[in-house]
Amino acid sequence: MRLNDYLASIQGTEQEEKLFEIIDKYKDDIAEAQGQTAQIPVVGKIVDAIVFLAERGNVADFLDSEYAELAQGLDVSVNLEKGMFNIYPGKEMRRKIFMVLGAVVAVIALLVLVCRKCRGCK
């Protein structure tokens, strides 16, 4: 399920309170992750969005923020009874990641082939 859709569905309910209880348990870990991922473009922004959600303590503020647009590409898996809340890249975001990785691998392979050919010419 999309993160924003999930948050909108629990807004103002008892589930919203349970969600923030779970997030409160992991505030220190989230803050540590924010420091470690600050220089990573996409991941850093996602962690910043989670920190913003945790600091605000309500879904409405998050959905009205600039982070809500970033969260459009994220999916969520939630089991509040077990205290599980997982955020991961959605289908479109994963497709883009694999395309970029594929392009990087193709460029590296091309460079290796060119280097081998040039060594053979000497």
pTM above 0.85, yes or no: no
The predicted-structure confidence for 42-63, as pLDDT tens digits, reads as follows 778 888 888 888 888 889 988 9
- Every domain of the chain and the residues it spans: 3-89, 91-122
Q: Do residues 68 and 8 make contact, with C-beta atoms less than 8 angstroms apart?
A: no
Q: Contact 76/3 with Cβ under 8 angstroms?
A: yes
What is the predicted pLDDT for the residue at 2? 87
Residue-wise pLDDT tens digits, 2-21: 888 989 999 988 888 888 88
Higher pLDDT among residues 61 and 39, named by residue: 61
DSSP code of residue 85: E
d(C-alpha 30, C-alpha 6), whole Å = 20
pLDDT at 100: 92
